[in-house]
Structure 1
Amino acid sequence: MSAGLPQDINLIVIAVSATSSRAHLYPDVKTLLTALDGLVVAGGSNLRMEFFDKQGVRMHPVFGKKWQLVGIEAGVDGPEPEILLSRLRTAVTDIETYLFDPVVADVLAGMKLTPKQAAARLPRLAEVTDLAEALRRCDGPFGHADADPGDNGSPLHNLFVHGIL
């Protein structure tokens, strides 16, 4: 087995930007690594990510000899579900703000949605205290549960998670 590929098939890897402005759920480390292979960050900007498992345990990157990401492994600290829940709430708030940007509003109009209608599809986490429930609510918009057939994500997923216009 490769380094960083846990045998727990129920693992969910949550990648949250360091500023908590975006979040993405992956069913396992292999799917994350496949998604990152050949990825180019738009605009030449840096991409800073934090990784957690579904219990809120921080996951740390594992690098190969040429500094390529080859896996992710659990850290030594115990679960901190409240930190991950906070990161997810911040991501939802930031994405909701993003949806009301005039450029994004034009893209949404092409999808026959107003910013308010798109925002209504975001998970509501303000009153959620259970991480498992928060992750269940996030799976569609931040995971691939609502992906179009033959695609890695619906247009709203791509907008919410990746900022793809």
Structure 2
Amino acid sequence: MALKFLNKKGWHTGSIRNVEKVWKAEQKHEAEQEKIEERSEFRAIQEQAGLVPRRPERLEFLYDPELAVAKQNVSSSRHGVLFQNQDQRARATIPGALFDDDDKRHSANDSWRKFHSDPLLLIRQKEQEIWKFLSLFLYSIHVSCLCFFCKRLRFG
């Protein structure tokens, strides 16, 4: 069955308009990446020449959880660092090394802290407590009403 009519639809990925939009977006993205690279190279050349003061190091590295966990695992001796670098190079050549999570594991304390300090989790826990209380309360009212009607039916 021929489905040539689909590329005339506005939502179809094979329509000329959509292909053109994608191509333009890709070109724009590539141009932006080139500008960013040129600016960073130009800035580095200026810093090396001493024309522009070097940028102060920012504190963003403190908030990187991967770096914090990696610091705990690194040995304090210089030999341990060298062996670790060689081990990392050896692991990088293994197929599928990009998807290896050994370096990105978080400590158990970090995971526990993130889980238990989540405001949405706290809200949901409070909601569950309220629902438990309400369900017990409503159940007790329901039972008391049933008892009342049963007594009324018996004694008329």
Normalised by the size of structure 1, how large is the TM-score?
Answer: 0.16
Which structure has the higher relative contact order (CA within 8 Å, separation 6+)?
Answer: 1
Normalised by the size of structure 2, how large is the TM-score?
Answer: 0.17
Higher strand share: 1
Higher helix share: 2
